[in-house]
């Protein structure tokens, strides 16, 4: 069931919300939690009920193992539990890819089995691994099965995140002031849901329609001219932005309808002026998980090994090449490679992880170099800031090509077109502009109509990029209200110069949200719903 489908908007959500209001509003919070768990299982089973028992078995086994780890925190038991979760995920997600690779290496003629990836398995596997790790470390307080089930299955975050932490969710389930129907939080939640729906159906889906034929042509081996290739890459980069931003808004908004604040998962990542900032703003809960449970343990292990070998730890701002390699570079590479293959089974995802690992190692190395010279890490100069943001964005676009492509070959084909290796065609409609004809003739540029580039598409891309780079995001706009869990609002220069860009509970804002919401609902209900991009991971 999709958040943008008629079945969800007109059927599932009103029924579930009504049941919650009756139960929680009447003081029966325990029954309200059970009601939401049951509804979440129905929501999950709507896609394919055959995988509901798998989800139930996974939750039961991990809850039991978590209790055992709380009583007997042995490392062997923790490793066994994590391995079991990883192997389950690997079977469904990577068996086909691994068999294909083995066949290519050995030439044995093996055929990859057709295994359907259970919805959300990547997300709930990470949540349960974190639970086991924290149970082993003594960081799990409450151990209640009904609350644990709701923590895993709560439908606003079940399918595509945010990846929630047990502590931040279980505490809310026991909060009598929060886990109940409240008009103020429900109003903000509905506002966020409608804003996210608008981003999905009005902004993301049209960009996806522009990107799809370009990537399909690359998958067919077509030699794409530069404008066509950049049209596809930029369209997909914007589709991904608004699709994931829209889902994040809708998930947080749905949580607020039930008195639950979900953690922030999206914070204007295209405004980042380096790739380190980008990863702290994109899929923030995934970055949090990778940092807490993979990157930090690797750094600590490398630190202990360095101390045991009698090597001094680097002083602040004094990082030697050897220390940088062991304490920063290798943990970063390992973490990003895991992130890459978590997103999908294929060489294109391996390349995606390796590319972003390279980006991050270079960024950390450059910052370490500047720190050693006493240079400011980030410039306050507007021109330098703009160049940094644009450079980071171009790096992200290149990575997005691997993220979207059907395989590594088609990704490289599209990148070759973006680099101009397949030529450049200047559209006739632009060549006719005053003063351009002589310049084009002097440069010897080929004037021909590109297959996919259109001026209207270029205008859409330019407008949406301006939207990404200048306007406040949803959490900033609603910073005066309760939105994401632990959200610390900050304001952009545009907000400071135009305070009317901030949400206010008045009639004008209500009318504006109503118009936007009505248009989004009309668009969503008048066409077949499209999946959110992160559903496939």
Looking at the fold, whether 174 and 234 belong to one and the same domain comes out as no
Tens digits of residue pLDDT in 453-467: 888 999 999 999 999
330 found inside a domain:
no
C-alpha to C-alpha distance for 235 and 229, rounded to whole angstroms: 10
Domain range for residue 460?
Answer: 185-265+378-382+394-530
pLDDT at 494: 52
Q: Say if 412 falls within a structural domain.
A: yes
Q: How many domains does the chain have?
A: 2
Are 11 and 45 members of one domain?
yes
d(Cα 89, Cα 126) in Å, to the nearest integer?
A: 10
Residue range 425-439: mean pLDDT, rounded: 73
Same domain assignment for residues 261 and 139: no
pLDDT, greater one: 403 or 426: 403
Shared domain check, 230 and 167: no
Instruction: Give the rounded percent of residues in the chain with a pLDDT score beyond 70.
Output: 95
Identify the band that residue 323 occupies on the pLDDT scale cut at 50, 70 and 90. confident
Q: 13-17, 372-376, 380-384, 398-402: lowest mean pLDDT where? A: 372-376
Give the residue-averaged pLDDT of 418-430. 84
Q: Do residue 176 and residue 238 come from a single domain?
A: no
Give me the chain's average pLDDT, please. Answer: 90
Examine the domain organization and report whether 139 and 37 are in the same domain: yes
Mean pLDDT of 62-88: 95
Instruction: Evaluate whether residue 273 is within a structural domain.
Output: no
Q: Per-residue pLDDT tens for 506-520?
A: 788 888 889 999 999
Q: Tell whether the model's pLDDT for residue 44 goes beyond 80.
A: yes
For helices 52-71 and 145-153, the axis angle rounded to 10 degrees is: 130
Element (H, E) at 335: helix 330-343
| Model confidence band, residue 353 (pLDDT cutoffs 50, 70, 90) | very high
For residue 252, give the nearest of 188, 171, 181, 201 by alpha carbon. Answer: 188
The region that residue 434 occupies, defined by phi over 0 for left and psi between -120 and 50 for alpha, beta otherwise, is: beta
- Tell me, yes or no, whether 242 and 165 share the same domain: no
Whether residue 359 is contained in a domain is answered as no
Place of tokens 């994040």: 248
**Rg of the Cα atoms in the chain:** 25
Average pLDDT over residues 112-131: 89
Residue 253: predicted pLDDT? 96
Q: What is the pLDDT of residue 457?
A: 93
Q: Which of 145, 161, 181 is the last residue of a domain?
A: 181
Same domain, 222 and 95: no
Say if CB 33 and CB 173 are below 8 A apart: yes
By mean pLDDT, which of 138-147, 158-167, 337-346 is the weakest? 138-147
Count other C-beta atoms under 10 Å from residue 529's C-beta: 19
Of 139, 166, 181, the last residue of a domain is: 181
Give pLDDT, residue 439. 73
**Quick one: pLDDT at residue 519?**
95
**DSSP 8-state secondary structure symbol assigned to residue 262:** P
Per-residue pLDDT band for 448 (boundaries 50, 70, 90) equals confident
Is residue 443, in this structure, part of any structural domain at all?
yes
**For position 92, what pLDDT does the model report?**
92
**Is 161 part of any domain?**
yes
Residues near 219 by beta carbon (within 8 Å), at least 6 away in sequence: 405, 406, 407, 410
What is the per-residue pLDDT across 271-281, written as a single tens digit (0 to 9) for each? 999 999 999 99
Nearest residue to 11 via CA among 3, 531, 201: 3
Give the pLDDT band of residue 493 (cuts 50, 70, 90).
Answer: low
Q: What is the mean pLDDT of residues 430-451?
A: 73
Is a pLDDT exceeding 70 seen at residue 489?
no
In a domain, 39, yes or no: yes
pLDDT at 23 (0 to 100): 95
Q: Quick one: what percent of the chain has pLDDT higher than 90?
A: 65
Examine residue 362 and state whether it is found in any structural domain, yes or no. Answer: no
Q: H or E segment at 426?
A: strand 425-426
Q: Are residues 35 and 167 in the same domain?
A: yes
* Comparison of pLDDT for 91 and 321, the residue scoring more: 91
As a whole number of angstroms, the distance between CA 4 and CA 6 comes to 7
* pLDDT, position 103: 83
Q: What confidence score (pLDDT) does residue 374 get? A: 80
Residue 497, pLDDT score: 56
Per-residue pLDDT of 93-118, as tens digits, reads 999 888 888 888 888 888 877 888 89
0.95 cut: is pTM over it?
A: no
Check whether residue 12 and residue 146 sit in a common domain: yes
Question: CA-CA distance, 188 to 509, in Å (whole number)?
Answer: 12
Give the up-direction half-sphere exposure of residue 317: CA atoms within 13 A in the CB hemisphere: 8
Question: Is-contact 192 251, C-beta < 8 A?
Answer: no
- At 243-271, the pLDDT tens digits run 999 999 999 999 999 999 999 999 999 99
- pLDDT grade, residue 376 (50/70/90)? confident
Residue 240 clears pLDDT 90, i.e. is over it: yes
Does 350 score more than 80 pLDDT? yes
Same domain, yes or no, for 140 and 195? no
Residues 167 and 210 in one domain: no
Q: Which of 130, 153, 181 is the last residue of a domain?
A: 181
Marked catalytic residue, from 343, 356, 364, 422: 343
Residue 343 falls in the annotated catalytic set: yes
Q: Whats the size of the chain, residue-wise?
A: 537
pLDDT per residue as tens digits for the range 191-214: 999 999 999 999 999 999 999 999
Q: What is the pLDDT of residues 49-61, one digit of tens each?
A: 999 999 999 999 9
Q: What is the pLDDT of residues 385-409, one digit of tens each?
A: 999 999 999 999 999 999 999 999 9
């Amino acid at each position: 069931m999709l958040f943008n489908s008629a079945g969800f908007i007109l059927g599932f959500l009103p029924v579930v919300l009504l049941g919650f209001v009756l139960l929680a509003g009447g003081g029966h919070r325990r029954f309200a939690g059970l009601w939401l768990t049951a509804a979440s299982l129905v929501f999950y089973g709507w896609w394919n009920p055959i995988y509901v028992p798998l989800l139930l078995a996974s939750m039961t086994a991990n809850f039991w193992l978590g209790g055992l780890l709380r009583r007997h925190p042995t490392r062997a038991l923790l490793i066994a539990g994590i391995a079991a979760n990883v192997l389950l995920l690997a079977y469904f997600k990577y068996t086909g890819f691994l068999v294909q690779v083995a066949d290519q290496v050995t030439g044995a003629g093996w055929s990859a089995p057709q295994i359907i990836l259970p919805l959300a398995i990547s997300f709930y596997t990470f949540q349960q691994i974190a639970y086991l790790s924290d149970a082993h470390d003594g960081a799990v307080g409450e151990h209640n099965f009904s609350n644990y089930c709701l923590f895993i299955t709560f439908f606003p975050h079940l399918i595509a995140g945010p990846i929630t932490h047990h502590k931040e969710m279980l505490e809310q389930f026991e909060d009598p002031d929060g886990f109940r129907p409240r008009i103020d939080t429900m109003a903000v939640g509905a506002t966020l849901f409608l804003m996210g729906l608008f981003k999905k159906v009005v902004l993301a889906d049209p960009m996806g329609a522009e990107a799809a034929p370009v990537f399909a042509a690359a998958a067919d081996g077509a030699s794409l001219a530069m404008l066509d290739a950049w049209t596809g890459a930029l369209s997909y980069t914007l589709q991904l932005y608004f699709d994931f931003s829209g889902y994040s808004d809708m998930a947080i908004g749905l949580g607020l309808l039930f008195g639950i604040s979900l953690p922030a998962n999206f914070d204007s990542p295209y405004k980042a002026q380096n790739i380190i900032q980008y990863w702290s703003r994109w899929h923030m809960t995934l970055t949090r998980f990778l940092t807490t449970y993979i990157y930090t343990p690797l750094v600590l292990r490398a630190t202990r090994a360095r101390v045991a070998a009698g090597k001094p730890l680097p002083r602040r701002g004094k990082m030697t090449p050897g220390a940088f390699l062991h304490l920063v570079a290798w943990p970063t590479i390992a973490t990003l490679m895991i992130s890459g293959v978590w997103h999908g089974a294929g060489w294109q995802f391996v390349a995606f992880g390796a590319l972003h690992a390279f980006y991050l190692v270079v960024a950390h190395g450059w910052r370490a170099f500047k720190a050693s010279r006493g240079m400011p890490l980030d410039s306050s100069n507007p021109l330098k800031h703009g160049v940094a943001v644009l450079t980071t964005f171009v790096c992200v676009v290149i990575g997005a090509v691997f993220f979207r492509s059907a395989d590594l070959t088609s990704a490289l084909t599209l990148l070759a077109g973006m680099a101009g290796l397949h030529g450049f065609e200047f559209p006739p409609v632009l060549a006719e502009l005053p003063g351009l004809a002589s310049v084009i003739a002097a440069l010897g540029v080929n004037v021909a109509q590109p297959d996919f580039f259109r001026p209207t598409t270029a205008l859409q891309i330019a407008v949406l990029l301006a939207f990404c780079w200048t306007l406040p995001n949803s959490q900033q706009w609603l910073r005066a209200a309760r939105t994401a869990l632990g959200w610390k609002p900050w304001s952009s220069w545009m907000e400071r110069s135009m305070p009317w860009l901030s949400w206010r509970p008045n009639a004008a804002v209500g009318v504006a949200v109503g118009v936007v919401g009505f248009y989004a609902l009309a668009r969503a209900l008048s066409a077949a719903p499209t999946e959110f991009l992160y559903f496939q991971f």
